Amino acid sequence: LKISVDHFFLRTGTSAWRQSIRYQKFMRDHPVESIYMHEDYDDNSLRNDICLVRVSKHFNDGFTQRILGVAGQKYTYPTGSICQVYGFGWTDKHQQRGSASDALRVVDVKIIGHQKCQTWYKKRS
């Protein structure tokens, strides 16, 4: 699902929603070309709360602020590989909506095989 980008920008140089004004000199705003939300996003449960953001042009604001490439459609990550997931979402599955983190979080996740993934998701449905 592609959404309008009229009022969006990507801000680098901060990892918090409510960053102090004193850190503004480190922040940079980058124009957004497009945003793609997950087609099965559910606003009530926040299931599939993920999107891809395409910026209008490449940037490199320093060691920690750079564009991350997306693997090709046919690329398969090896089972057992570790990837990192970033987000501002809930830090506890029992939290109620509206209590998401103010700071960007990161977690290491081990890639599981396709068959195991399908089995786990069938159990959750």
Q: How many CB atoms lie within 10 A of CB 110?
A: 9
- Is the pTM of the predicted complex or chain greater than 0.75? no
Inform me whether the pLDDT recorded for 98 exceeds 60: no
Average pLDDT, the chain: 79
pLDDT for position 72 = 84
Separation between Cα atoms, residue 82 and residue 86, nearest integer Å: 13
- The amino acid occupying position 105 is R
Query: What would the pLDDT profile of 73-84 be if each residue is shown by its tens digit?
Result: 888 889 999 988
Query: Which residue ranges make up each domain of the chain?
Result: 1-61, 73-125
DSSP string, 74-125: T--PPTT-EEEEEESS-SSTTPPTT---SB-EEEEEE---HHHHHHHHHHH-
Inform me whether the pLDDT recorded for 52 exceeds 70: yes
Say which CATH architecture domain 1-61 belongs to.
Beta Barrel (2.40)
Inform me whether the pLDDT recorded for 26 exceeds 60: yes
